[in-house]
Chains A and B, each alone.
Chain A
Amino acid sequence: MLFKKMLREIRLDFGHFLSIFLLSFLAVMLFSGLESNVIGANQAREKFHEETNLADGWLYGENFSDEDAEKISSLSFVNDVQRRMKFSGSADSEHDNAELTIFVENENLVSKPYIVSGEDFDVASEDGIWLADRFAQAWEIKPGDTFSFSVEGLTITKEVKGLIDSPEYEYMMASDDLKIDFHHIGYIYMSYDGFPFREYISCMIENNTISVSDIIENSDSLDDIIANLEQYGMTKDDITKDMILEKIEKMSEEDIRSMIPFTQMIFTTDEEDVMSHEDEIADAIDDNYAVMLDSSSITGIVRLDDELAQHNSVSWGFSVVFVIIAMLVIFISMNRMVDNQRIQIGTMKALGMKKGKIIFHYISYNLIISLLGSVGGFFVGVFALGEKIVGLFNGNYTVPGWEAGFDATSILIMILVVGGSVLSSCMSCAKILKINPAESLRPAPPRSGKKCIFEFLPFWNKLGFSTQYNLRNITRSKVRTFMGIFGTTCGMILMLASVGSLGFVDELSDWSLEKIQNYDYQASLSDDFNAEDMQKISDQYEGEFVEFGTIEVAAKSNAVSADRSLQTLIVTEGKGLYNLTDVNLEVQELPEGKAALSRKVAEKLNLNVGDTVYWHMYDENTWYEAEIGLISRAPSLTSLTLLRSDFEETNHEFKPSMFVTDEDITGYDGEEIVSVLVKSDLEEAYVNNMSVINDLISVLLVFSVIMIVVVLYSSGNISFHERNKEFATMKVIGFSSKKIRNLITKENIWLSVIGVIIGIPFGNAVLSAMVNSNGENYDYPTSASPVVYLISAAFVLIVSALVSFMFSRRIKKLDMVGSLKGME
């Protein structure tokens, strides 16, 4: 019988149950859907890193010996160690001269490649290479194919034995590319035994890539030649290229190999913070290394870390807001629904029905509806929305087995939503059951005092009827008023968060492309660009040279690694083309003799304007100091910026990597300029860069809109449902439908506007919480532009007005006779 009542009531109050269903559905779907990408990524990455035994520490040095590896290995916290060689190479022209990194290994314990297809990686294979799967896919290269690539001019051709994913290359983009294109970048793993060292060295000598003195300095293989020469009264300067080449021909394989150093040593540990062990590492190998890194400095890993962090903060921000809103709305509407059934509940109790049965009856509504919604939301969230979002990421990042996942939190949220709605009905039901049946058979009196506070206003009597009526109504039915305000508050929060995030992308573009990169053409300069070339270009074009370097900065000289921060060094000529912006995003000139330090680094190192910052080039050991003249800010690059004159005073040659100008330089003919980017290219690159997060936010915007409609519909529905009888009475008394509608509309406008205003600070808080939890390199502005507020407010108010219009339209058709029958 009660089941029949339930079905009938669900049908009668379809709007109410629809909104409970939609709210549970949306909340759970968004949460599990948004989170499924991050959860799935974490699960897949953990497995990936585990299976491939991804390094925890990277040591770069001039030459690591076997003994060095053993010494590291004997440290208590180190698990596995291995050395490896790393070469930069390129594919042939048929493959667009793609950028390739070649790892040459004689053992493979750490950072092992993950085999996508083909044979397992074999460090003894002389004729094979293992090629990056993404690159191979792009070019349709299959295991068994032969593949040629060149290193320092030497062309090497091998059979592709397998296609691999490396955990160090979850992200990769060719340096000349504006957007990720796997045609242009890849890596190769190959055996030490398969690498043609002799040809490699010969080739380098022939091409003058290395000079005699380089060899003498770095190897003792020529010592006997020098000794010989000295007998004839000659010095090392008299050694000719041919003499060396001949010598190379004759050298034993072992000697040849010893000339090419192992420049990397990688190891794993179970310790959380590898960098804190740098002292022990340094002691073990007598400081014989250049730099030690952890995964936070490996671009291929950290870029995905950052993007996931960004995604995570955005999706957490949104899902938490969604879940809270849904729960609150469900809570209130359940409460209202049960309250409206007060007399029925009283009747059931008066008829002698057991409390438990009554409560169960009311709980069952919500249990069924919200369970249906939540379970549906969970599946749609993880398997539809989640997979979609993973798809956005999978295009750019490479993690095998990355698919939408879920974990205990998703289930917990489901339980929370279902439990919350059950609990809310349970509580309101119990509340009514507590009062005696006689009393519950009459409607509850409004709680407030005799007069509404507004009646004490001196001009109360001058207010129009509808104003008075609404003010009374607002002060006396607090829950309903709260609902009305709450709906638009939520709307405003969601709109500000999503439109605000989208707006950021535009603002950022304006910031980086208009203020910082204030030029129309950007030329990349060749690697061997020299002072002569510089003269040549500046003779023809008005522009500015910029150098980018890698440095470490610290608050004191010779700081230990833990206190250093890896940064980009930017050297500009201060001509106003490549600019600096201050913390307020305004363009500022860097005073001569001073340096600019990015805000986030300055905060981390606890430095301020006037303090001294210490830095050293990444591959050198000499520290320099500079006075901070400006705290700068850029959206996605933290740096120390120096003027050219000041940089040159440190006895460094100014080696620009970029020439920027407003003059059309695309026609320039010469080796000095490798490529030229036009502003529109930069803009395109920018858009591409932001595309994943942009798509994500667009998805969120769509769901926010749906959520806003559902929330406003729910609150409208509750309010209208509750006031049905009131409106019928007013109609009977002689109020015209139009007058009643005006009354409702007016009240709705008031509440909506109040809601929107209240929503602004909350929305801002959510927005800045999301934006601020980005990766270390990112530093986004945190206040939205007025346009964002206007758009958000306008949208929320329009939806609110439409919903109100929809409900108030029913006034005209309101069945007075039916509505007024009986007490209820």
Chain B
Amino acid sequence: MAALIEFKNIVKVYGTGEAAQKAVDDVSFTIEEGEFVVILGQSGAGKSTILNMLGGMDTPDSGTINIDGGLVSSMNDKQLSDYRAKTVGFIFQFYNLIPTLTAYENVALIKSISKDSLDPMEMLKSVGLESHKNKFPSQMSGGEQQRVSIARAIAKNPKIILGDEPTGALDSNTGVIVLELMWKLCREDKRTVIIVTHNADIAQCADKVIRMKNGKIIEIKQNENPVPVSEVNW
């Protein structure tokens, strides 16, 4: 069976001429369905760039991205938004909720783009925020906002969940709660979860760890016995 995600010889260059910089330099990897993947690397290594391409928000300059049987790297605008709507859920470092919508409404937003979306109230419950449903983003803590953003990401019932430093703006306790949620999405709901992080501790929970440096992959490690998030001693 083919891998769920196949990244092949991906190059992404920012700028032109003298100032040109390869943010991602000939990167290839595969990710199987249901895997919990952690991408590690120092700042500026190209992690976010890769994740953005996985999320259909950015396109590579060369190379192919194959996800769930679709050639994401050559999709047009319309196909890309369709892909974003159905296949991936994105979780940002800074949550990016819509400020004029309440927690519930932010999640319910998904109903209008995907017919197979899950019940927003259920989603909020699953992240433990049913009591906050009428709050606006600015009235919630960072961790709460991030949980709403997770609820929003899973509401469309995506195969893949992407998180770019989802715990980056949170304190460690809150971060653990968020990570546990994501772990459950992977293990219980059988979704593929890919997280970019600076926190090397998370690596022990991952099925696969991708290490990057200067736009290149320096190591891909398959973890035989990942530790559940709840058992890690943070």
The reply to whether chain A is a binding partner of chain B is yes
What is the total number of residues of chain B having a CB less than 8 Å from a CB of chain A? 37
A820 to B105, CA, bound (A): 20
Does A352 sit within 8 A of B, measured CB to CB?
Answer: no
Known: A733-B84, A817-B58. A445 touches B113 (CB 8 A): no
Q: Are A733 and B111 in contact (CB under 8 A)?
A: no
| Proximity string of chain B (66-77) to chain A, C-beta cutoff 8 Å, 1 when within and 0 when not | 000000000001
Does A725 sit within 8 A of B, measured CB to CB?
Answer: yes
Q: Are B156 and A734 in contact (CB under 8 A)?
A: yes
- Chain A residues with CB under 8 Å of chain B are 442-446, 450-451, 465-466, 469, 472-473, 476-477, 725-726, 728-739, 812, 816-817, 820, 822-823
Interfacial residues of chain B within 18-61, with CB under 8 A of chain A in the complex: 48, 52, 55, 57-58
Q: Within 8 Å CB of A728, what residues of B?
A: 96
| Proximity string of chain B (96-140) to chain A, C-beta cutoff 8 Å, 1 when within and 0 when not | 111111100100011111100000000000000000001011110
A466 to B85, CA, bound (A): 17
Comparing B86-94, B194-202, B206-214, the segment that makes contact with chain A is B86-94
Q: Could you pull out 15 A-B pairs where Cβ atoms are within 8 angstroms? A: A443-B138, A446-B138, A451-B134, A465-B111, A473-B100, A729-B97, A729-B98, A730-B98, A732-B84, A734-B113, A736-B77, A737-B78, A812-B77, A817-B57, A820-B94
Does B152 sit within 8 A of A, measured CB to CB?
Answer: yes
Question: Which chain A residue lies CB-closest to B89?
Answer: A733
Does B64 sit within 8 A of A, measured CB to CB?
Answer: no
Q: Within 8 Å CB of A820, what residues of B?
A: 92, 94, 96
Q: Within 8 Å CB of A446, what residues of B?
A: 99-100, 136, 138
Q: Are B94 and A823 in contact (CB under 8 A)?
A: yes
Q: Are B109 and A733 in contact (CB under 8 A)?
A: yes
Q: Are A817 and B84 in contact (CB under 8 A)?
A: no
Question: Which chain A residue lies CB-closest to B57?
Answer: A816
Q: Within 8 Å CB of A476, what residues of B?
A: 100
> CB < 8 Å: which of A442, A444, A734 contacts B84?
A734
Q: Within 8 Å CB of B84, what residues of A?
A: 731-734
Does B81 sit within 8 A of A, measured CB to CB?
Answer: yes
Q: Within 8 Å CB of B99, what residues of A?
A: 443, 445-446, 726
A499 to B97, CA, bound (A): 45
| Proximity string of chain B (151-167) to chain A, C-beta cutoff 8 Å, 1 when within and 0 when not | 01000100000000000
Shortest distance between the CB of B59 and any CB in chain A (Å): 11
Q: Within 8 Å CB of A737, what residues of B?
A: 77-78, 81
Q: Within 8 Å CB of B98, what residues of A?
A: 726, 729-730
Q: Within 8 Å CB of A822, what residues of B?
A: 94
Q: Are B96 and A477 in contact (CB under 8 A)?
A: no
Q: Are A734 and B86 in contact (CB under 8 A)?
A: yes
Shortest distance between the CB of B50 and any CB in chain A (Å): 12
6 A-B pairs closest in CB distance: A734-B85, A465-B112, A445-B138, A734-B84, A736-B81, A476-B100
Q: Are A725 and B96 in contact (CB under 8 A)?
A: yes
Q: Within 8 Å CB of B110, what residues of A?
A: 733-734
A175 to B234, CA, bound (A): 103
Q: Within 8 Å CB of B152, what residues of A?
A: 733
A477 to B139, CA, bound (A): 16
Question: Which chain A residue lies CB-closest to B136?
Answer: A445
> CB < 8 Å: which of A450, A731, A823 contacts B134?
A450
Give the residue among B55, B77, B99, B109 with the most A Cβ atoms within 10 A: B99
A451 to B55, CA, bound (A): 32
Shortest distance between the CB of B171 and any CB in chain A (Å): 16
Q: Within 8 Å CB of B82, what residues of A?
A: 734, 736
Shortest distance between the CB of B120 and any CB in chain A (Å): 13
Q: Within 8 Å CB of B109, what residues of A?
A: 469, 730, 733
> CB < 8 Å: which of B90, B94, B134 contacts A733?
B90
Q: Are A442 and B100 in contact (CB under 8 A)?
A: no
A430 to B207, CA, bound (A): 52
Give the residue among A730, A732, A737 with the most B Cβ atoms within 10 A: A732
Known: A465-B112, A473-B100, A820-B92. A733 touches B138 (CB 8 A): no
Q: Within 8 Å CB of B105, what residues of A?
A: 472
A446 to B152, CA, bound (A): 20
New A-B contacts (15) at CB < 8 Å, excluding given A450-B134, A472-B105, A823-B94:
A469-B109, A473-B100, A729-B98, A732-B84, A733-B84, A733-B152, A733-B156, A734-B81, A734-B86, A734-B113, A735-B113, A736-B81, A816-B52, A817-B48, A822-B94
> CB < 8 Å: which of B58, B114, B138 contacts A442?
B138
A728 to B92, CA, bound (A): 12
Q: Within 8 Å CB of A816, what residues of B?
A: 52, 57-58
Shortest distance between the CB of B202 and any CB in chain A (Å): 22
Q: Are B114 and A734 in contact (CB under 8 A)?
A: yes
Shortest distance between the CB of B194 and any CB in chain A (Å): 15
Give the residue among B81, B110, B138 with the most A Cβ atoms within 10 A: B81
Shortest distance between the CB of B196 and any CB in chain A (Å): 13
Q: Within 8 Å CB of B100, what residues of A?
A: 446, 472-473, 476-477, 726
Q: Within 8 Å CB of B102, what residues of A?
A: 450
Q: Within 8 Å CB of B101, what residues of A?
A: 472
A676 to B141, CA, bound (A): 89
Q: Are B113 and A739 in contact (CB under 8 A)?
A: yes
A729 to B110, CA, bound (A): 12
Q: Are B81 and A735 in contact (CB under 8 A)?
A: yes
Question: Which chain A residue lies CB-closest to B114?
Answer: A734
Q: Within 8 Å CB of A477, what residues of B?
A: 100
Q: Within 8 Å CB of B83, what residues of A?
A: 734
Shortest distance between the CB of A730 and any CB in chain B (Å): 7
Q: Within 8 Å CB of B111, what residues of A?
A: 465
